[in-house]
Structure formats: C-alpha cells, structure tokens
Amino acid sequence: MKSYKVETADLVEKVYSSIKEMILKGELVPGQKLIQEEMAAHLGVSRTPILSAFSKLEKEWLVKSIPRRGFYIYEMSREEKINLFDIRLRLESLGAFKAAELGTPKEKKALLSYVEKNSSKDFSTSSSGFNQHDYEFHRRITDMSRNVMLSTMISSYNIVSLSNQDDRTIDYSRSISDHLAISRAISESDAAKAEGLMRDHIQTGLDRIQGV
C-alpha cells in the first residue's frame, strides 16, 4: 500500500508538470475549458491523477474550477495582472540582488551564456519560444538567490504572468536587452545594479498593462 501511494503521488506530479508545461508553451490558453477525459487520453493516464493535478494547479492560480461547469485555464482580469506585477516587482528585484550576492561564479557565467545564446533569436515569430526563454531566465536568477520560498513563489507567478500576457504588446528586443543587462550586473556581483535593473524590467511590463 505504501509503494502504491508513492507511485500515485509521483504520477500526479508528472501530470501536474506536463499540464504546467503545456500552459507555459501556450498549448492551453486562458479561458480554455479542460476536459478531464481528453486530458487523460492525451497524457495516457486515468482521470484520478488529472483531477488531483487540476486541484494542485488551482492553488497556483493556473486553473480555475467553476461549480457545475468544470475546470478552466485561469484568465486574469486587468486588476489581477496589475496586482501580480506589483508582487513580482518587489520579489524579483530582491531575487536579482541575492543572485548577484550569493550566486557562484559558475552559475553567473552560465546565466550570462544562456542569455547571450538566446539574444540573437527572433522571438517575434514564436511567442511560446520567448515564454520558455523568459521563464528559464527568471528561474535561474531566483534559484541563485538561495531562497527556496522566494524561488517557488516567483516560479508560479511567472507562469501565470506569461500565460496571461498579450503577446502583441511585447517589445522582444527590449526584453532581451534587459535580460543581458541584468545578467551582466549579476555576473559582476553588482547586487544594487542588478536589483535596480530587474525592478525597471518588471516595471516596464506593469506599465504595458496599465497603458502608460
């Protein structure tokens, strides 16, 4: 019985991760209804782990359950988007500061190399490609902060943010330019500069939502 529970928990985690990745890639979009039977068939599992994964995703604001209607990919209101960016602005600037302060030379070099490698890509033709790059960029930084709680919160917030953004309003070249500047500040261990650049970077996204 104990072994069965472990296997079940592991399966739920795999289903949860798969659905989360589908949201990040834009394969599941805000407002889309999730059909348990279809999702179970797509992932090759029963409905039980699907339902458990939906419940877990709902706690992260990625899925919303509506009584007598079912589960949907969460669609944020304008006010919710503004509130989310306000949280991100404060948390991620702290994450950048800590990354510059606590990240290892190897991690800092890898971050800068990752961003430089992606800087020549034309993301205007692939919003899902940019979303994956953007998520990975912010994930690496928060992982370097050595704060598991901070990293976990930002990771969830970023997927919600990316899945609900209007791709038509994104300045891809500016975003990549910001990423390069932030990565360089972190690689130079300039915590104050990294914090300020990250704050400006998130503020740009907030201004875009507010129409500033």
Domains defined along the chain, listed by start: 2-73 (1.10.10.10), 78-210 (1.20.120.530)
What is the model's pTM?
0.82
pLDDT tens sequence across 43-71 = 999 999 999 999 999 998 899 999 999 99
pLDDT at residue 6, as a whole number: 38
**What are φ and ψ of residue 66, in 5° steps?**
-120, 120
The per-residue pLDDT of the chain, averaged, comes to 90
In which band, very low, low, confident or very high, does the pLDDT at 212 lie, cut at 50, 70 and 90? low
Give how far the C-alpha of residue 65 lies from the chain's centroid of Cα atoms, to the nearest Å.
21
Q: Is the dihedral of CA 210, 29, 176, 141 positive or negative?
A: positive
CA distance 65 to 72: 6
* Strand 63-66 with 33-34, pairing: unpaired
- 172 and 123 Cβ atoms separated by less than 8 Å: yes
What are the DSSP E strand ranges found in 53-211?
63-66, 70-73
- Bridge partner residues of 26 (DSSP): none
Please state which of the ranges 78-87, 105-114, 149-158, 200-209 shows the lowest mean pLDDT: 149-158
Spatial contact of 93 and 199, defined as CB atoms under 8 Å apart: yes
Name the CA dihedral angle for 187, 147, 135, 62, rounded to a multiple of 10 degrees.
-170
